[in-house]
A and B are shown apart, each in its own frame.
Chain A
């Protein structure tokens, strides 16, 4: 080898690969240490004290949740308990959930636990998307709690004969093929009344997660001209 160039040296490239991989892995771990505390679930005390969490505590189900444009961040954010002057969560306005707005931290956590378990054991994610991940055979569930179809103006309460959003959702989840909305139907998954309550808790809680504005314009557009 007369002219030995570093660019043709396998050892050089092997070391480079090692260093690049190492640096990338360390950066990922460092970012993970920053991100995990930010997405750790908040507590009831946080909600009482008006501390905004990216993932609020389970008792967020006692509050009214909406999805509003944030002027500073230029995308929508979940607003919990009504908006303050800046347009962010004021944590004031409560909302009854299955007849109560005073679910304790333990009760709410237990319902959320059941709901999260149910979301997995009933395989929601292999038809729906959750936070946009899953299958594309059924609507995204990220902000399903805020979907106008389930609200007072929507068709689902009348269809299921229930007076509140949560009861309509729970009824539908237990007997989905009795309430077909399209040719493509949700199958009966043997969901019990208690599990349905848990799943609705899971959905309401998920709608309070700060998803950086995904999905855009959720529930704001009541239809488009020639949408199809």
Chain B
């Protein structure tokens, strides 16, 4: 880390996490393109890198790069929030290398071994075959160790330094985030029980603890980037925690409609998941309101400059507020009631929602954090957009939005034909897949995927070069 303006070891470590996260993000997009191509051209890499393999890497890389970027974000903000250097930074560095090495081994095994015989050895050393948490059992334990080390660093730092509201929320949130992972670490012959606990991990991550994490990052970003008042921001944060956990925890019910669980989950799932968009609307309003308020104060003083100290990062934070509301909130609500989910459950409609939700809620804000890292590392006071950052933002956001639209059209065609008209059988499934709207949707998804990937290349170029650009205030 030569030529770095960073004096904090914690922030240096954060840039390692951001760098590895960006590499895995690239892998996610690449294998997404393989899978998207297979929808259009089924013979592509058939029995070489099959859809199941490409898709497993696509979604696992997604989870892993986000977790890396989340850890990096915590290491980044801790010195600012607590006022002290992070405790246990040596352990943090060791765990970084252990975690990164484990991930590389896991991915290589996915790619080159792919499947094993139906026995426990495969579960321990190849993969567990459970969507999103496919990591083999040995890696589960490695992850637990790494996460425990990370959490102890967070706790020790939070207890020693100044414990702000943001740090308090993160401490409570990350312990839940880690604890929930344990619910996904066992094998059972009962597929209903299996999926019951599997959802504890997936749902309580992405619709509860990760959302609260994002709320904390947004709060931190507003304070550091536009100088929003801490008291107001932290009050909002607590309200958001109440709304997110209040709706999200029991919103779990919407995953228990059809997996063998009792009918009462229809009502519970419908009610609480219908409430889930509310905190996302609130977050969107809150971010825009604070921005307008701070800029207004500045304007009233007769000053004409922008209050934003990091334009590309703030752009991604705004896109987060909007994308979270749109992808998780609106697209989620579209198919959350059991009356429609009976037909949409397990169709391309779900994947339309999944793409925009993961991107809008998490990818955006974590890219924003990477820009904060670049700013700090290069000692920039006010960071401006470059041509590359604008191209990257437009192409990535436009590309994912385009994929979502394409998948939504394909999803409508899919579920109405295969489910409503044909009753979900093998023949019905392929009737849905054979429709012209479906095929067009998949074609457009691939095109939009290529645009997203091109945007990613611009993003990498910008993250690597913008620190040296001349148009920033230093």
Q: Which residues of A contact B (CB under 8 A)?
A: 8, 10, 13-14, 16-17, 20-21, 24-25, 27-28, 31-32, 34-36, 38-41, 54-55, 58, 73, 109, 112-127, 129-140, 142-144, 147-149, 177, 181-185, 187-190, 192, 195, 198, 202, 206, 209-221, 223-224, 227-228
Lowest 3 A-B CB distances belong to which pairs?
A120-B129, A118-B118, A214-B258
Contacts of B465 in A (CB 8 A): none
Q: A10, B234: Cβ atoms under 8 Å?
A: yes
Contacts of A217 in B (CB 8 A): 423-424
Contacts of A219 in B (CB 8 A): 423, 425
Question: Of the candidates A31, A38, A73, A109, which one forms a contact with B189 in the assembled complex, judged by CB atoms under 8 Å apart?
Answer: A109
Interface size on B, residues (CB 8 A): 93
| A10-B189 in contact given A117-B118, A217-B424 (Cβ < 8 Å) | no
| A121-B425 in contact given A135-B51, A210-B260 (Cβ < 8 Å) | no
Stretch at the interface among B139-147, B239-247, B324-332, B388-396: B239-247
Question: Looking at B53, B265, B346, which has the most chain A CB atoms within 10 Å of its CB?
Answer: B346
CA distance A209 to B428 in the complex (A): 21
Query: Can you list 16 A-B pairs, Cβ within 8 angstroms, ordered by A?
Result: A14-B168, A28-B252, A39-B260, A54-B192, A118-B118, A120-B129, A120-B187, A121-B129, A132-B258, A135-B131, A183-B43, A187-B50, A214-B258, A227-B431, A228-B417, A228-B436
Contacts of A227 in B (CB 8 A): 417, 421-422, 428, 431
Q: Which residues of B contact A (CB under 8 A)?
A: 35, 38-39, 42-43, 46-47, 50-53, 55-56, 114-120, 122-123, 126-131, 134, 165, 168, 187-196, 231, 234-235, 238-239, 241-242, 245-246, 249-250, 252, 255-266, 268, 342-343, 345-348, 350-351, 414, 417, 419-431, 433-436
Q: A185, B192: Cβ atoms under 8 Å?
A: no
Q: Chain B residue with minimal CB distance to A125?
A: B131
Q: Chain B residue with minimal CB distance to A116?
A: B189
Q: Chain B residue with minimal CB distance to A115?
A: B118
Excluding A126-B131, A228-B434, 9 further A-B contacts by CB distance (< 8 Å) are A16-B242, A21-B246, A25-B249, A73-B263, A121-B126, A133-B259, A183-B43, A212-B266, A221-B423
CB distance from B69 to the nearest CB of A (A): 24
Contacts of B53 in A (CB 8 A): 123, 126
| A131-B195 in contact given A17-B241, A140-B424 (Cβ < 8 Å) | yes
Contacts of B258 in A (CB 8 A): 131-132, 142, 211-214
Q: B117, A192: Cβ atoms under 8 Å?
A: yes
Contacts of B193 in A (CB 8 A): 36, 39-41, 55
Q: B429, A139: Cβ atoms under 8 Å?
A: yes
Contacts of B434 in A (CB 8 A): 228
Q: B235, A122: Cβ atoms under 8 Å?
A: no
CA distance A36 to B188 in the complex (A): 13
CB distance from B352 to the nearest CB of A (A): 10
Contacts of A118 in B (CB 8 A): 118
| A120-B128 in contact given A35-B261, A55-B260, A131-B258 (Cβ < 8 Å) | yes
Q: A149, B426: Cβ atoms under 8 Å?
A: yes
CA distance A136 to B430 in the complex (A): 11
Q: A130, B191: Cβ atoms under 8 Å?
A: yes
Contacts of A127 in B (CB 8 A): 50-52, 55
Q: Chain B residue with minimal CB distance to A9?
A: B235
| A216-B190 in contact given A131-B259, A221-B428 (Cβ < 8 Å) | no
Q: Chain A residue with minimal CB distance to B236?
A: A13
CA distance A61 to B301 in the complex (A): 78
Question: Looking at B191, B196, B420, which has the most chain A CB atoms within 10 Å of its CB?
Answer: B191
CB distance from B275 to the nearest CB of A (A): 11
Q: B55, A135: Cβ atoms under 8 Å?
A: yes
CA distance A41 to B42 in the complex (A): 38
Q: Chain A residue with minimal CB distance to B431?
A: A227
Q: B47, A187: Cβ atoms under 8 Å?
A: yes
Q: B56, A126: Cβ atoms under 8 Å?
A: yes
Contacts of B231 in A (CB 8 A): 10
Q: B345, A177: Cβ atoms under 8 Å?
A: no
Contacts of B35 in A (CB 8 A): 137
Q: Chain B residue with minimal CB distance to A224?
A: B421
| A136-B414 in contact given A16-B242, A28-B249, A209-B191 (Cβ < 8 Å) | yes
Q: Chain B residue with minimal CB distance to A7?
A: B235
Q: B52, A54: Cβ atoms under 8 Å?
A: no
Question: Looking at A27, A131, A148, which has the most chain B CB atoms within 10 Å of its CB?
Answer: A131
CB distance from B444 to the nearest CB of A (A): 16
Q: B165, A14: Cβ atoms under 8 Å?
A: yes
Q: A189, B129: Cβ atoms under 8 Å?
A: no
| A121-B123 in contact given A54-B262, A188-B47, A216-B423 (Cβ < 8 Å) | yes
CA distance A213 to B428 in the complex (A): 17
Contacts of A198 in B (CB 8 A): 118
Contacts of B424 in A (CB 8 A): 140, 143, 215-218
Q: Chain A residue with minimal CB distance to B414?
A: A136
Q: B346, A121: Cβ atoms under 8 Å?
A: no
Q: B245, A20: Cβ atoms under 8 Å?
A: yes
CB distance from B77 to the nearest CB of A (A): 19
Q: Chain B residue with minimal CB distance to A127?
A: B52
Q: B165, A195: Cβ atoms under 8 Å?
A: no
| A136-B52 in contact given A131-B260, A148-B425, A228-B434 (Cβ < 8 Å) | no
| A136-B343 in contact given A120-B129, A126-B51, A149-B427 (Cβ < 8 Å) | no
Question: Of the candidates B47, B56, B129, which one forms a contact with A119 in the assembled complex, judged by CB atoms under 8 Å apart?
Answer: B129
Contacts of A212 in B (CB 8 A): 257-258, 261, 263, 266
